């Protein structure tokens, strides 16, 4: 059973979002990393890149497949986790901790209201 944290928001594409007063951290969920299998490569954007909501911001390559990463929110990349670029298995080991991907400064805080809460995300995962 995948971990679904109560303090996060989620997307249907299996990204998680943690709001930290207008700056958000983004990564992939425990369910996503489990479905992907061993992650061997992570491609992330550069600091300063402007992301549109639902735009591709990077990719994750595992022993099974390559998956695009979609930005759940619009904003400007303020930080990139270079650790996961150098050690992609951190995403498998700690998807909600050391395996975070990027931080962005939001263009519109109200966009957070469009994301799934933990209960809604659990229903989505259970239905797959």
Number of domains in the chain: 1
Question: What pLDDT sits at residue 128?
Answer: 81
Whether 12 maps to a domain, the answer reads no
User: What is the DSSP annotation of the chain?
Assistant: -----TT-EE-TTSEEEEEETTEEEEEE-HHHHHHH-SEEEEE---TT-EE-TT-EEEEEEESS-EEEEE-SS-EEEEEE-HHHHH-TTHHHH-TTTTT--EEEEES-GGGGGGSBPHHHHHHHHHT-
Whether 126 maps to a domain, the answer reads no
Q: Give this prediction's pTM.
A: 0.95
Domain that residue 64 falls in: 26-109
Phi, psi torsion values for 6, nearest 5 degrees: -75, -20
Instruction: Tell me the pLDDT of the chain (128 aa) as tens digits.
Output: 789 999 999 999 999 999 988 799 999 999 999 999 999 999 999 999 999 999 999 999 999 999 999 999 999 999 999 999 999 999 999 999 999 999 999 998 889 999 999 999 999 999 88
Whether 124 maps to a domain, the answer reads no
Whether 34 maps to a domain, the answer reads yes
Question: What pLDDT sits at residue 21?
Answer: 82
Q: What is the CATH number of the domain that holds 96?
A: 2.40.50.100
């Amino acid at each position: 059973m995948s971990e679904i944290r109560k303090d996060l928001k989620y997307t249907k594409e299996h990204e998680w979002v943690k709001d930290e007063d207008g700056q958000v951290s983004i990564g992939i969920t425990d369910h996503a990393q489990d479905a992907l299998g061993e992650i061997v490569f992570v491609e992330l954007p550069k600091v300063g890149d402007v992301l549109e909501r639902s735009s591709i911001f990077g990719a994750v390559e595992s022993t099974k497949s390559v998956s695009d990463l979609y930005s759940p929110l619009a904003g400007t990349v303020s930080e990139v986790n270079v650790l996961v670029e150098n050690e992609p298995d951190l995403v498998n080991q700690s998807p909600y901790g050391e395996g975070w991907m990027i931080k962005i400064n939001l263009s519109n805080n109200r966009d957070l209201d469009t994301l799934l809460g933990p209960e809604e995300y659990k229903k989505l995962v259970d239905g797959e």
